[in-house]
Chain A
Amino acid sequence: MLGTQLQGETPLPSDAGSNGRAKIETFPMLAGLPFFVREEQPAPRIWSISKQGIETGPNPFPATPAQDLKGRITGPVRLVQQIAHAWSLTNSELVNLLAYPSEGLVSALLDGRITFWPETDRGDRVRIMYFIHSTLADLFVEPAQEGRWIREPLDDLEGMSPLDCMLKNRILGMLMVRAFVEQRLANR
């Protein structure tokens, strides 16, 4: 389970470069895909960001430059962590939901060691799952019930649980679950 893993602080890589410059390495088996490993200190935490004067410019967060995304726990990755925590997802389940080729990459993503690129199919998956989660989080009086509901079979999903529906049918399954949650449960 990811629950405990997500609570912890991101460890520093033991072989981080001493000159403060990033060492970027592309995975050979993922040639052509936007994955990177950056062997340096991961993202500064929120308290340290304010010291960097983020709010001094007219638009402190323009279109996020690629260099700025590499090798840290970005906002979208934090959303992935929230989903994984709320649904008690195993690494194996998260690998399938995000269409990563290996569990190692998911661990690296959650630790801020590889870059999550928002404008990809994987970004769409996270967006859909996050909107499912945010609706459920509003609905359930007891937060733990969200994780239980997502794993219980439903007649309206042909006997599959919402999680199984997403794992089996991929993005289409996620859209099915989102429609079910927003229409049937939330009555929007």
Chain B
Amino acid sequence: MLNQAKAVSIAERVSRVTQSGERWREINRLHATLGDGREFAEALEFLGGEASLGTTDVANSLAASFTRPFRPGRFSNGAYGVLYTARKHRTANKERAYWIGKSFSPATSESYKIRLQLISCMVRGHAKDVRGLLSQFPWLIDDDYTQCRALAMVAKAKGLHCLITPSARDRPKGTTVPIFEVSSVSQGRQDGVVIFTIHAGLSTTFRTQFT
């Protein structure tokens, strides 16, 4: 299938929605609740020191996708890391909204509000664009990931840095960019905050606040 896809060189900014677990926020939380004294120091030591409290910046949080243990997903069974990004922030939001909505009880009567960060990075390298092959290979957006994972294995074996794929959650125009090589990622930055609202029995909605 990959032989039928168009080969492209990619150099563009892509988006991702995440709560990166940055260290400074956790340290601030500990300071706010424990003060600056003995208890703060004890708690920090107990938790494993500052390094255990999260990443230092966006670049480090992006690199975390390529650090063991790898997370299984559409394009990996967990044997290697993939950084899931999208060409547009709206697509990244829709992809995240889908998963967040599944993480709450369907019986929930009151809505929940969740805050995540919109981040972006540059991706440079060799890719194949498989979007035009969707009608021929509908499994590209299927919830059974078997074929997508097999495709990713071939792509990695061919030395591709990423794929350009149709978004399963932002149809019909959304484009996702699963990245396989950490070396192709650079210039990470935070672009804003996204507030997701999870309603009982309804689609999850979101609102982006750009910084």
Give A contacts to B, CB under 8 Å: 43, 46, 49-50, 54, 60-61, 64, 73-76, 78-79, 82, 118, 123, 126-127, 130-131, 134-135, 137-142, 145, 148-149, 152-156, 180, 182-188
Provide the main secondary structure of the chain A interface.
Answer: helix
Decide yes or no: A64 and B21 within 8 Å by CB, A134-B26, A138-B115, A187-B99 being known contacts: no
A46-B37, A186-B116 known, 5 other contacts, Cβ within 8 Å: A61-B38, A127-B48, A131-B47, A184-B103, A188-B64
Interface residues of B in 86-143 (CB under 8 A from A): 96, 99-100, 102-108, 110, 112-116
Q: For A135, list chain B residues within 8 Å (CB).
A: 19, 21
Among A64, A76, A130, A152, point to the contact of B108 (Cβ < 8 A). Answer: A152
CA–CA, A64 and B45, complex, Å: 9
The stretch among B5-13, B27-35, B158-166 that forms the contact with chain A is B27-35
Interface residues of B in 17-56 (CB under 8 A from A): 17-21, 25-26, 29, 33-48
Any chain A CB within 8 A of the CB of B71? yes
Q: Do A187 and B46 touch across chains, with their CB atoms under 8 A apart? A: no
CA–CA, A149 and B44, complex, Å: 27
Q: For B20, list chain A residues within 8 Å (CB).
A: 186, 188
Question: Quick one: which of B33, B44, B61, B64 has the most chain A CB within 10 A?
Answer: B33
The 9 closest A-B pairs by CB, nearest first: A75-B42, A75-B43, A141-B113, A186-B19, A61-B41, A75-B39, A152-B105, A46-B37, A46-B35
